[in-house]
Structure 1
């Protein structure tokens, strides 16, 4: 029991990235056990996948509305979850250095939502998917939203890789998105459409957050974030407006300089009455 208590303690003390990793691992382990028991009874499909994965038809969303979010916590196999959680750990911890943990959760959930929407649209629009049936699982859409979101916020941030050196974040993001685009005609095209949906959300959200005039996602994100915690964004220091030169001030300063120069050369007594009055008035301002 100490092992379980230790996990519980780690979960409570962990940040949102660690909690998401624990949740995904717990769900994955649960599906493994169910696979074993259903296999013993010749079950054809794991009922967790049946009820919580996202089907490729719009009608299924009406019967299982939660599936458009819940699919983001399911994974097909060990390699699938391993790769996703490694990226989530490193990119997620970078994200919360600049944003709040609630905002990361918003990106994960909303990225999953947008990924699911693009998956459904692609499956029902492109001829590539005619006469095919598929389901969507995986956290990649939510992770893509986090990845592209932080890359959009600070594109020139550099990460150091052994044998390669420093690589800018936007270069990695471009490779990430480019690989998904190149794989759109492959066997897992629907999954890559979902990744792009999450990436598109991350990009658009960060862009609109830096523009007060655009509020496309404010209502949606408020479902997952506290209204008291505004989205952090880049605040550009306003350029100081150049002070317009005042012609009178410039002339007065020139006259003062001329009078002071005259005093330094010839003495105060050489000033005219008008010059003395002018200097007196300027000294009282």
Structure 2
């Protein structure tokens, strides 16, 4: 068991940001489900733990649990719910990193969830159709966050083709339009809240990509907060400073190593700039397999 946990930790540490987000979502779902199964077996009456982290539709409910605007995007109502969300996050998370950075993905995941949750609350408190439901309705799921990633990728590279089972190749812009269209047509269905949140997430993704193309990163403040929060839990290791040692002799070898390293870094940077320029002019499909790999590796550095 210890080896399994160690392997999971190592995979999480080495994984891309979308892999880490999948681990977090699945981990929360598994732990929550196991706790629920255990308590039900012993018929233990407990408070609604799930509801504490779900986003209420009413503004009064939200005031009592403001953290739910963040926590709801990591909660899921069932196996199929989390399965499809994580599959979409895996597929489009990997594609997103071809065009944006890992921090952009992390920040947009949160931004999409916030915008989706906010639109959900506004809609349920504005439209008369939901007036009888607003008091007890809640929202969970990463769908809004995932749709933000899909929409941003489609905005950045609209003509990129993805292969769909049974449907064949389809351009990203059409896939995004189909998904958004389905959500618009479904906002009066039994899962109205989920579809409204999807639209909020998609709008956030388009907003992010459009702003970034003009030089404004809408996720910078989110990443600043997340980095500060993460740093609170990182262990500080205090090491004794080694005594200074003086080496006599020819230092040319050291200078040569520094020069080689700097030259290599510059060559890598120039290559990435060349690929990005080609991507901008001719699109993603024009890149060779080696160029795609170089761009993907650069996004992880």
TM-score range, shorter chain: 0.7 to 0.9
Using the alignment, how far apart are the partners of 2:64 and 2:280 within structure 1?
46
Stretch deviating more after TM superposition (159-168 or 77-86): 159-168
How far apart, CA to CA, are the structure 1 residues paired with 2:132 and 2:108? 33
Alignment of 1:225-236 (within 5 A): none
User: 2:59 & 2:101 partners in 1: Cα distance?
Assistant: 34
Mapped to 2, the partners of 1:44 and 1:99 lie a distance apart of 47
Residue 103 (structure 1) aligns with: 104
Q: Which has the higher contact order (CA 8 A, sep 6+)?
A: 2
| Cα distance in 2 for residues equivalent to 1:44 and 1:124 | 32
8 Å contact kept, 1:102–1:225: no
Structure 1 residue 165 corresponds to structure 2 residue 150: no
Q: Distance in 1 between matches of 2:92 and 2:65?
A: 31
Matches for 1:202-213 after TM superposition, within 5 Å:
202-212=205-215
Q: CA offsets, 1:3-49, max 9 Å, x none?
A: 11111111111110100000000000011112113323545676431
Q: Which of the two has higher C-alpha Rg?
A: 1
Match in the other structure for 2:77: 76
Cα distance in structure 1, aligned partners of 2:21 and 2:123: 28
Query: Offset at 1:221?
Result: 4.5
TM-score when normalising by structure 2? 0.70
**Normalising to structure 1: TM-score of the pair?**
0.74
**1:174 match:** 177
Q: Superposition pairs for residues 96-175 of structure 1, below 5 Å?
A: 96-132=97-133, 133-175=136-178
Unmatched 5+ residue regions in structure 2? 228-275, 282-301
Q: How many residues in Structure 1 have an aligned counterpart in Structure 2? A: 229
For 1:66 and 1:97, how far apart are their aligned partners in 2? 32
**Cα shift at 1:136:** 0.3
* Cα distance, 1:224 vs structure 2: 5.2
In the alignment, which residue of structure 2 is the partner of 1:23? 24
Which consecutive unaligned segments of at least 5 residues does structure 1 have?
A: 227-232, 238-285
1:54 paired residue number: 55
CA distance in 1, matches of 2:99, 2:218: 20
Residue 160 of structure 1 aligns to a residue whose secondary structure is strand
